[in-house]
Amino acid sequence: MLKYVGFLLVLVLLILGGYYFLQVNQAPTPEPHDAMGLEVRGESPNYFENIQGFYAEPQEPGNYPGVVMIHEWWGLNDHIRAQAKELASEGYRVLAVDLFGSVATTPDEARAQVSDLDQEAAIENMEAAIRFLRARGATSLASLGWCFGGGQSLQLALARGDADRTTPPLGLDATVIYYGNLVTERDKLRGIQWPVLGIFGETDQSIATTSIYAFRDSLVQLGVPNEIHVYPGVGHAFANPSNAGFAPAETADAWAKTLAFLEENLK
């Protein structure tokens, strides 16, 4: 009898452990969140050489965390500016970067922008965003991106965790990835020393679930705190209202999880 009880206890612990690290969200009901709804001001500063981003912060003076927000393959468009304002209203200093210098209106244009990207220059761009937010008084920092920007959010984390880089440390406190391209090798992820949130769609044709599982497993093996959420029945860019596969319920649930994650790790 004691052996049977012990087996059940081990089984329960294994199930709970798996749930902590990888959640396949079933028919999500958006998690409740007490929106701060702060008044926000926005501007378009030159934060890196002659590159303009979009900066949003609460109008009320205070100590606020900072977030480097990274656009999709379309570029820094009005949708991303609106996202920056929405996040700023929750009590954050948000700088939406511009990694392309242009905005695409067709998939072919967007694909060309990504193809022409200089990754090292993109890292320097995002590091300049960190410096900008620090100069504005950000008390802690995260990166957050969707699609192309999700992959860049991870690339920034890898650069910040790379001890071989010659630039001074510009630390992050959290990384958020919405269905971005992943790196799964443990040796490449080893430098990440802060929590990671991943949001994915189960039917995403560009990011295989096996890659998501491998990414999650590597983080677990390295002892990196992580939350990986996979939403069934939705595909790539499900959180973009302009996408044919837009999933409102999943988007609301993912955003609530994002806000909770940022609040826990930045505030």
pLDDT digits (tens, 9 = 90+) for 47-88: 999 999 999 999 999 999 999 999 999 999 999 999 999 999
- Residues 200-218 have a mean pLDDT of 97
Please give the average per-residue pLDDT across 97-124, as a whole number.
98
CA angle 47, 88, 140 (to 5 degrees): 70
Identify the band that residue 43 occupies on the pLDDT scale cut at 50, 70 and 90: very high
Give per-residue pLDDT as tens, 213-234: 999 999 999 999 999 999 999 9
Tens of pLDDT, residues 129-146: 999 999 999 999 999 999
The answer on pLDDT for 161 being more than 60 is yes
d(CA 141, CA 170): 9
Given a cut of 80, whether residue 19 has pLDDT beyond it is no
Q: What is the pTM of this model?
A: 0.87
CA atoms within 13 A on the CB side of 1: 0
Token pair 């920034």 is found at 156
Taken in order of first residue, the domains within the chain and their CATH numbers are: 39-266 (3.40.50.1820)
**Nearest residue to 66 (alpha-carbon basis) of 137, 158, 151:** 137
Is residue 93's pLDDT more than 90?
A: yes
**Which pLDDT score is estimated for 35?**
65
Q: Write b or e for each residue in 187-219: b if 16 or more Cβ atoms lie within 10 A of its Cβ, otherwise e.
A: eebebbebbbbbbbbeebeebeeebbebbbebb
Q: What pLDDT, on the 0 to 100 scale, is given for residue 24? A: 55
Q: Return the higher-pLDDT residue of 13 and 226.
A: 226
C-alpha count within 13 angstroms, C-beta hemisphere, residue 74? 15
Between CA 129 and CA 176 the distance in angstroms is 16
What are the tokens at 44? Answer: 């378009």
What span, in angstroms and rounded, lies between the C-alpha atoms of 102 and 190? 34
- List all residues 6 or more positions away from 242 whose beta carbon is below 8 Å from its beta carbon: 79
Average pLDDT of 12-30?
46
By the 8 A CB rule, do 40 and 59 touch?
yes
